[in-house]
Chain A
């Protein structure tokens, strides 16, 4: 199984269990369908980072209070804000299958999430190379809603990126991204290689979560 299939299976809650063949077929045909339906758009900008305190910082004009993000960005002078989306086509497909085939809708949703992560990872790898040449290192992506980094920042981040116009990514009054398969994130840029920053699950305190990654690269 390739990486994104593993991720999709994890999102479906299989944990350590083997996946059955029929679901696996659903996963691979869903990825195929997403190739057609999913757009891949990203927008980012670099901003200065300044700290007032360990948990109080400013990215560009945005004031943030977050201990977790503070740890993530410690030692960074700059950070990239980014927004990325698979577009409205995926949402329409999900609605359609919610009507006619719920099993497929559920699998498609997991695959779309995996696809978005894979897209971001691929983009970030290129981004890392470019910045490494200039002597900067990347911190792991950190999104509003992780730990104590409030999702109340979504609207401001999108505004700073001009994301509705640039990639069609907007936010509802309840701070939900629309289209739904979308991400915003902060990536810290530092002059020194910070030790041992882990990705995603390791940050999170909920150790008994069924979706938790079992191993870390």
Chain B
């Protein structure tokens, strides 16, 4: 059996297929998979040569055989896959002379599409495409699934889940790294290894992209992080061009020489990719024959990852930003209720800028659909930040939904010592991968002694083992108790922290600020307790990175304990501050010279000055008066300048931003006085289906918001039905649609058609690079906005006429 041999003895994969088919007449752009049926003898002959050369595992000719890539009028996907497996079987019976056990691996390559949110392919669509071909492959008799040449962690996750959930075959995965050890989509080695091991593939590795020599440094990194068997399948060198044709020129002997070095590093299976031939495989097999594998040690790193980076716990302390959480935050609760993702995403970006390494995501509110909200927030956050996320929820369905669509290996908050909790959470962690936060409480509650909490941590670690979850993937939270009600609370927590570190060697996490509930001047206590916790072995504090007291503790601790080499970070942050004054970092100096008027500040697009001027004015005048006398005229002036061509788009937007800040100052004043801003008119904005360029729509949004409209932003690639539903549900009178290209104006037309039928009382304005008045009339729009200001004027006209 394959799995009994993998990792215990050296196994050989095969070499290149595409290049050999080309030499037999496959044309560029022709689908190589059709050759399984059109020229089975040619395909089988290549497979046979690999078996003869010494390959144990030969890949089916199905690299591009998925519904998204394989479009052929003559052949069905199913028959292609069946024939491909049959060809390998046939080749084995012809090529294996020594009676050894060999395998047919179903070869699965990428879909050739970029996944959402950057591309247009949905995660579940990708999953479906992989599922289909994998099921055909298993039915046809493949022995294992080999997913290869992947350059996107998200796509590979979809593929692995499809294999695991729909077949019982072993799964091996190899990805393309560049010479710096990065995927095309930005992922690094530890993030890839952490995710794939979390998904429990049977082996992982590297193929294509590089020759064996260039792979050495990347491989060194892989060996540093991977515990499972590693596969290496290089190209025959770097691609070269002669007369515009690509070729590879590392010959079999040279190839085998480097592969010997690669075996010395502890690799379990080797083969070749582009440009390699049966002669390359034979040269390796002759060189290494059936040599023993070098023994390897399991790695103990605790890693959480995103698509782009890994965070390793247990070294330098890590900051988990706690701000994405509705507890005690009125504005955040409102954002959740209104599905205001922008507000939530900004909280994420801000925390990253302030120094967070991981973001906690808690979006639980009693009266919202948490499953959907969690999915939306996780997906969108991953399009604006590469920080790994901590999925924080008590709703097990929301937890699973988020773990499934998360791109990387998430942190999971949390499991506890109760049987019920472990029964629910551990199967998910075993299936999707993840580093699990373990709270030291059980059916009996929270032990009042350190020993009691240490014991529960031990129980959780033991239970996790039953699911194959290793200690390194458990991060213990010994729980922070409020010191004002529990006099020994802090001491017990610190003792327990130290205890679990010493006894089990696990990483730890704490929600730090609970300590000070009920006390005055909480930041003082919090900051000091945070330092004490780090000194007692806290790996990751869940804190508010905008709290200067916490960040001071953090940067001081790192500087003092030599985690911050040469105190570089410390100096960068505090180098410009004089002494120990209470001025927070980044506080701005008082404005010099004559302060600008609010009107000037907005016209020049100066945010801080606008803030200052609005605050000053509000001391003597009423907010609504300020808005009408200064703000609106300033905005109008800028808008007119834009129309005349004396002010340009970046300036218009800078002014808009300054005005927005002045508005928010005045809104706060108004709220304090108990007044309310006027009810806002709703406008829907969307980039139509099929269109993924949304910068134009976003410009219009900023300006409309500035002029006091309530913009419902449905995003990009929005189906007509979604727009119609929203218009009806929210009873919206004006809808703005954007499209970039002629191909997507069709969706715009369809959206308008449906709106006319379902919501006849609404107006539709359109804009976008490809549109003009004539075109807009043709598709039945009410208004064509040639630039962003025109849509503002139109909106004003529509709503003032009512």
Q: Are chains A and B native binding partners rather than an unrelated pairing?
A: yes
B285 within 8 A of A: no
Residue on A nearest B114 in the bound complex, by CB: A178
3 nearest A-B residue pairs (beta carbon): A46-B244, A174-B690, A168-B184
- A46 contacts B245, C-beta separation under 8 Å: yes
Inter-chain contact A92/B118, CB cutoff 8 Å: yes
Contact B346 A178 (CB under 8 A): no
Taken together as a complex, chains A and B put the C-alpha atoms of A87 and B383 apart, in Å, by 14
Query: B359-367, B397-405, B507-515, B695-703: which lies at the A interface?
Result: B695-703
Select B699's contact among A15, A102, A180, beta carbons within 8 Å.
A102
Q: A174-B691, A175-B743, A178-B118 are in contact. List 10 more A-B contacts (CB 8 A).
A: A12-B650, A41-B184, A61-B29, A88-B118, A92-B383, A102-B653, A164-B110, A172-B119, A173-B690, A178-B120
With A17-B648, A92-B118, A95-B383 as contacts: A180 and B693 at CB distance below 8 Å: yes
Residues A164-209 near B (CB distance < 8 A): 164-165, 167-168, 170-176, 178-180
A105-B695 Cα distance, complex, nearest whole Å: 8
- A interface footprint on B106-144 (CB within 8 Å = 1, 0 otherwise): 000110111001111000000000000000000000000
Chain A residues, Cβ within 8 Å of B441: none
Q: Is residue A214 within 8 Å, beta carbon to beta carbon, of the partner chain?
A: no
Q: Are B185 and A168 in contact (CB under 8 A)?
A: yes
The 8 Å CB contact of B743, one of A26, A62, A101, A151, is A151
A103 to chain B, nearest CB (A): 4
Complexed CA–CA distance, A91 and B522 (Å): 41
Could you list 30 A-B pairs, sorted by A, with CB under 8 Å? A22-B604, A23-B648, A23-B650, A23-B651, A60-B29, A61-B28, A87-B184, A88-B186, A95-B117, A98-B698, A99-B342, A99-B384, A103-B605, A106-B653, A106-B699, A151-B743, A160-B29, A164-B112, A164-B114, A165-B112, A165-B176, A168-B185, A170-B113, A172-B114, A174-B120, A174-B744, A175-B741, A176-B693, A178-B113, A178-B119
CB proximity to B under 8 Å, residues A13-45 = 13-15, 17, 19-20, 22-23, 26, 39, 41, 44-45
**Complex CA distance for A171 and B185, rounded to whole angstroms:** 15
Residues of chain A contacted by B744 (CB below 8 angstroms) = 174
B27 at interface by CB-CB < 8 Å: yes
Cα(A89)–Cα(B152), bound, Å = 13
Residue of B whose beta carbon sits closest to that of A23 = B650
User: Nearest-CB distance from B451 to chain A (Å)?
Assistant: 47
- Partner among B114, B698, B743 whose Cβ is within 8 Å of the Cβ of A174: B743
B118, A156: Cβ atoms closer than 8 Å:
no
Contacts of B649 in A (CB 8 A): 12-13, 106
Are B114 and A179 interface neighbours, CB within 8 A? Answer: yes
Contact A99 B110 (CB under 8 A): no
CB atoms of A101 and B657 under 8 A apart: yes
Contact A22 B605 (CB under 8 A): yes
Nearest opposing residue in chain B for A179, CB measure: B118
Contact with B along A73-106 (1 / 0, CB 8 A): 0000010100000011101101110111111011
Determine the residue in chain A with the shortest Cβ distance to B152.
Answer: A168
Output the least CB separation between B611 and chain A (Å).
15
B62 CB, nearest partner CB in chain A, Å: 15
CB of B622 to closest CB in A, whole Å: 29
Q: Does A159 contact B (CB under 8 A)?
A: yes
Determine whether the beta carbon of A47 is less than 8 Å from that of B112: no
CA–CA, A152 and B152, complex, Å: 25
Is A91's CB under 8 angstroms from B693's CB?
no
Tell me if A165 and B120 are in contact (CB < 8 A).
no
Give the nearest-CB partner of B151 in chain A: A168
Q: How many residues of A contact B (CB 8 A)?
A: 60
Q: How far is the CB of A75 from chain B (nearest CB, A)?
A: 18
Residues B162-200 near A (CB distance < 8 A):
176, 184-186
CB neighbours of A96 from chain B (8 A):
349, 384-385
Q: How far is the CA of A174 from the CA of B604 in the complex (A)?
A: 40
Known: A99-B346, A106-B699, A168-B151. A160 touches B28 (CB 8 A): yes
From B112, B208, B694, A170 is in contact (CB under 8 Å) with B112
- Take A165-B149, A168-B151, A168-B184 as given contacts and tell me if A176 and B740 are in contact as well, using a CB distance cutoff of 8 Å: yes
Q: Mark A53-64, 1 if CB is under 8 A from B, else 0.
A: 000000011100
Which residue of chain B lies nearest to A101 when distances are taken between CB atoms in the complex?
A: B657
- Measured in the bound complex, the distance between the Cα atoms of B5 and A121 in whole Å is 53
Most buried by A among B384, B385, B386, B650: B650
Are the CB atoms of B741 and A45 closer together than 8 Å? no
Q: Would you call A47 and B28 a contact (CB within 8 A)?
A: yes
A69 on interface, CB distance cutoff 8 Å: no
Which B residues are CB-close (under 8 A) to A165?
109-110, 112, 149, 151, 176, 208
Beta-carbon contact of B698 and A14 below 8 Å: no
Q: Does A109 sit at the interface, judged by CB under 8 A?
A: yes
Say yes or no: is B25 at the interface (Cβ < 8 Å to chain A).
no
Cβ of A107 under 8 Å from chain B: yes
In the complex, chain B residues 622-649 whose Cβ is within 8 Å of any chain A Cβ: 645-646, 648-649
Whether A20 contacts B151 by the Cβ 8 Å rule is no
Q: In the bound complex, do residue A170 and residue B650 qualify as a contact, i.e. CB atoms below 8 Å apart? A: no
Task: Report the minimum CB–CB distance from B537 to chain A (whole Å).
Answer: 35
> B376-409 CB contact bits vs A (8 Å, 1 = yes)?
0000000111100000000000000000000000
Could you tell me if B384 and A80 are in contact, using CB atoms closer than 8 angstroms? no
Q: Which of B119, B246, B349, B693 gathers the greatest number of chain A CB atoms within 10 Å?
A: B119
Decide if B346 touches A89 in the complex (CB within 8 Å): no
A15 to B342 alpha-carbon distance, docked (Å): 33
Q: Is the CB of B648 within 8 A of A178?
A: no
Q: Is B656 an interface residue when CB atoms closer than 8 A count as contact? A: yes
Q: Which of B30, B651, B654 contacts A61 (CB 8 A)?
A: B30
In chain B, positions 184-229 with a C-beta closer than 8 Å to chain A are 184-186, 208
Tell me the complex Cα distance, A110–B550, Å: 39
Task: Tell whether A99 pairs with B349 under 8 Å between CB atoms, given A92-B118, A168-B151, A170-B119.
Answer: yes
| Chain A residues whose C-beta falls within 8 Å of the C-beta of B113 in the assembled complex | 164, 170-172, 178
Q: Does B497 belong to the interface (CB within 8 Å)?
A: no
B308 to chain A, nearest CB (A): 8
Which residue, of A23, A106, A151, has the highest number of chain B Cβ atoms within 10 A? Answer: A106
Set of chain B residues within 8 Å of A45, measured between Cβ atoms: 28, 244-246
B26-68 CB contacts (< 8 Å) to partner A: 27-30
Contacts of B605 in A (CB 8 A): 22, 103
- The CA-CA distance from A60 to B114 in the complex, in Å, is 26
B603 to chain A, nearest CB (A): 12
